[in-house]
Amino acid sequence: MKKKLTLWILCSPFVLFAQTIDKNGTITFDFGHKKPKVQDTVQQHQQKTYEDADTLRPKKEKKWASAVKDVKEETEAPDYKKDGIFKALVHVGFNGCQIDGDGYRGYNYLGFQGGAGALVRFHNFFSASMEINYTMKGAKQAFIFTAAPQTLQKYRAQLDYIEIPVALNVHAKFVMLSGGLAFSTLIRYKEQYENGDPASDGPGPPPGGWPNKFDLSGFIGLHFIIHKNFVVGGKFSYSITRIRDPQVPALTHLNGEYHNDLTIRFMYIIDTVKKRKG
């Protein structure tokens, strides 16, 4: 009896520590159960945090991939085929003109320019264009003083052309650089000299002769796309073939007269009409 009592006293602590209470209030004995350590609890919490991070990572990666894609699309050149290869264009502007070789200086004559054309975009960075324009060129000197005896004089020349410029264009984001040749035919000519008499209506040719019927000019232009379809820019053009002989050879080193023009113009590009899929 004493042995059983002694054995029971020795085993009672293990029995007490092995007791567990369920949610229902039932007392059970689990001799293999160990009290969780603080380190194990921390590790379980960290593992849960990592698992939660893993579940959230795909969403962040998707957002990051979407942001990278948007930036890439903005920096890359647009696909010219999506907007259509052929485009129509209309433009209006003003010419600041002078004639080199006439003895006067300055872009004093202001003339109108307007027309329409077509642009063919055959590459992301290159296109070709052709226009048909009405352009007013010439020269003007309001007041000059002659040698003794001093007198007040004026000069004005107006030459209106139908012009066909053909250009190669280079596109870079919002900038378009152009260069090419312009073929022109004279449709109107009017000229006034120092005494105010209309030389073009006189009985004989003016000094230097009548202006040539045709003119060939080279030009370069720089345009800025301020909207998808709206363009503003400038152009410089100079005659390759001379207009006529110099009026006063002693006043110029040139072998004739040449158009020298600066143009500011506004352009609207008409996109091709895309049919809706029905």
**158 and 188 housed in the same domain:** yes
Is the pLDDT assigned to residue 17 strictly greater than 70?
Answer: no
Q: What are phi and psi of 19, to 5 degrees?
A: -75, 135
Q: Which two tokens stand for residue 260?
A: 């020298």
CATH of the domain at 130: 2.40.160.20
**175 and 145 housed in the same domain:** yes
- Which has the closest alpha carbon to 178: 167, 165, 193? 167
**127 and 67 housed in the same domain:** no
81 is a domain residue: no
**104 and 177 housed in the same domain:** yes
261 is a domain residue: yes
d(CA 212, CA 158): 13
Q: Are 134 and 100 in contact (CB under 8 A)?
A: no
Q: Which two tokens stand for residue 74?
A: 């903005």
276 is a domain residue: no
pLDDT at 191: 87
Q: Are 191 and 198 in contact (CB under 8 A)?
A: yes
Q: Average of pLDDT values for 94-111? A: 91
Number of domains within the chain: 3
Q: What is the pLDDT of residues 166-177, one digit of tens each?
A: 999 999 989 999
| Mean pLDDT for all residues in the chain | 77
**109 and 27 housed in the same domain:** no
**101 and 208 housed in the same domain:** yes
**72 and 160 housed in the same domain:** no
**262 and 215 housed in the same domain:** yes
**167 and 250 housed in the same domain:** yes
The maximal CA–CA distance of the chain, rounded, in angstroms, is 159
Is the pLDDT assigned to residue 84 strictly greater than 80?
Answer: no
199 is a domain residue: yes
Residue 79 vs residues 112, 174, 231: alpha-carbon distances, Å: 35, 14, 19
141 is a domain residue: yes
d(CA 146, CA 235): 34
Is residue 164 exposed (0-12), middle (13-18) or buried (19+ Cβ within 10 Å)?
Answer: middle
218 is a domain residue: yes
- Which of 76, 99, 131 is at the close of a domain? 76
pLDDT range class, residue 278, cuts 50, 70, 90: very low
278 is a domain residue: no
Top pLDDT among 216 and 22 is at 216
**249 and 172 housed in the same domain:** yes
**49 and 168 housed in the same domain:** no
Residue 177's DSSP bridge partners are 170, 222
37 is a domain residue: no
pLDDT at 104: 80
Is the pLDDT assigned to residue 92 strictly greater than 80?
Answer: yes
Domain holding 162, by residue range, is 86-270
Q: What is the pLDDT of residues 40-68, one digit of tens each?
A: 555 565 565 555 555 555 555 555 566 55
**67 and 122 housed in the same domain:** no
Q: Is 195 helix (H, G, I), strand (E, B) or coil?
A: coil
Residue 27 vs residues 8, 13, 197: alpha-carbon distances, Å: 19, 16, 129
pTM of the model: 0.66
